[in-house]
Amino acid sequence: MTDLSAPFDRVVCGDLVTPEGILAQGFVAIRGETIAAIGQGQPPPARMIDDHAGRLIFPGLVDGHMHTSSAMGWGGIEHASRTAAAGGVTTLCDMPYDIPRPVTDATIFSEKVAVVNRTAHVDVALYATITKTGGVARIPELAAAGASAFKLSTYEYDAVRFPRIDHREMEHAFRLIAETGLMVAVHNEDQELVEALTAEAKASGRTDPIQHARTRPALAETLADVLIFELARATGAHAHLAHSSLARGFELARAFRAMGVKASAEACIQYLCLTEEDLIRQGGKAKCNPPLRTAEEVERLWTCLVAGDVAYVSTDHAPWPIERKTSPDIFACAAGLTGLQSFAPLMVTLLEERGLPLTLLAKLCAEEPARLHGLAPKKGRLAVGADADLCVMERGQFVFDESTILDRPECRWSPYHGRTLRARVAATYLRGRPIWDGARVLNAPGEGRFVPRQGR
């Protein structure tokens, strides 16, 4: 039993938000890097007491899907983790499609771990992947190295960095991944249909922004969804849609779960608030894959979220330099949005606009991604014994300004620029230490750590 009379290293006071409810006038007492006690009312003795009265204290967010290194290689880890700290995100689950080498064997994995431990501002878990052909033999060693999940794709962006894995190789990979107990997340778009529709659009001279959505229709996504879940059914693997822009994806996951298949899907935050109109208005700055959908589809996604069909909410953060996002030819623009620094404030805003409980943020943006990536019980929850990772939110009216993004200057752009938000991140704590004070990142590169998956 925790001795509340003995001084703690730090006590953080405020309204504690967990998946179960909000504990008003609560406190989190910290010893070392760990939560040692949680309570309500008068805080216990401590060397330091941080009073955030009237503010909301969430577990540090866990972004289950983001990219640090697609544009500039592992140098992006430091920059992305700075903007994560400012956004209340204390654990990143980083995708493996890196420049110049994707994470396809244990040697590359260990090299990336070393860069994380040398340069990151927040803690980082790592996905692994396989080469286009012949890479499945590396799956056991990547799992043993501590990968939190695997990532594969049904659509090819680059034959080396981001390849399409054909059906036979995918089946083989799923079987081996099933033996590791890890989740396999899959980028879910049908190559044949997208390529044909893109060729038709270009041949007709249509390269305006809406063509990105028209050449990647709902059918392209659902064809891939069914393939992915049928592979899971045949192999016993846990298949996860890396992003579903459609309610249909969540409905399919639910249907396959009813058949005993390990099936899940995540919603990236952009699909919960941006639409085709944003694509038309912003062009490349709103280009992502799968593409943004209609306002009606956004409503259907929220129905799935409220019903409990969304595994977790992520950002799919991809900080391309702005020059890669401004061509009038939408097909020439890179696909992917920035989103780490706006993640927590935007999610608070979206929930409050719909009259939904903020407990959903604690569940879908912290607890569930931590659980599915094997990072629990240390990450994703306000609980005794967990890492003292905290995201402190101040309510109010704040306009998101892309110039405040703490990434490289060429990556300080956002599809949410100018949006009024109902909260801001007032403080972030990583393993008991303040790393963001509402204006500055307080810790040094390398104070973040690689976090291996805990067990199967």
Domains of the chain, each with CATH number or no CATH: 60-372 (3.20.20.140)
Distance CA 154, CA 33 (A): 41
Radius of gyration of the chain, Cα coordinates, nearest whole angstrom: 21
Whole-structure pTM value? 0.97
Distance CA 393, CA 14 (A): 10
Distance CA 187, CA 180 (A): 20
Angle between helices 247-258 and 218-235 (to 10 degrees): 20
Residue 423 has pLDDT above 80, yes or no: yes
pLDDT in tens, 10-44: 999 999 999 999 999 999 999 999 999 999 999 99
Task: Give the residues across from 8 on adjacent strands.
Answer: 46
> Backbone phi, then psi, for 258, in 5-degree steps?
-65, -20
Distance CA 305, CA 364 (A): 9
The DSSP call for residue 387 is B
Residue 1 pLDDT level (bands cut at 50, 70, 90): very low
Mean pLDDT of 170-190: 98
Query: Taking CA 193 as the corner, what is the angle to CA 190 and CA 194, rounded to the nearest 5 degrees?
Result: 80
Q: Would you call 74 exposed, middle or buried from its count of C-beta atoms within 10 A (0-12, 13-18, 19+)?
A: buried
Query: Taking CA 101 as the corner, what is the angle to CA 235 and CA 222, rounded to the nearest 5 degrees?
Result: 40
Note whether 424 and 401 are within 8 A (CB).
no
The DSSP call for residue 337 is B
Note whether 45 and 7 are within 8 A (CB).
yes
User: How many beta carbons lie within 10 A of that of residue 408, not counting itself?
Assistant: 18
Mean pLDDT of 67-91: 96
Distance CA 272, CA 283 (A): 18
User: How many beta carbons lie within 10 A of that of residue 292, not counting itself?
Assistant: 27
Mean pLDDT of 44-56: 97
Distance CA 344, CA 349 (A): 9
pLDDT in tens, 185-236: 999 999 999 999 999 999 999 999 999 999 999 999 999 999 999 999 999 9
Residue 57 has pLDDT above 50, yes or no: yes
- CA torsion 291-297-302-307 (nearest 10°) is -110
Task: Give the residues across from 51 on adjacent strands.
Answer: 13
On the question of a cis peptide bond just before residue 290, with omega within 30 degrees of 0, the verdict is: yes
Residue 3 has pLDDT above 70, yes or no: no
Supply the pLDDT for residue 141: 98
Residue 5 has pLDDT above 80, yes or no: no
Question: Given the structure tokens 């996002």, which residue do they identify?
Answer: 325
Distance CA 293, CA 248 (A): 12
Residue 455 has pLDDT above 90, yes or no: no
For the chain, what is the mean pLDDT? 97
Mean pLDDT of 382-396: 98
Residue 122 has pLDDT above 70, yes or no: yes
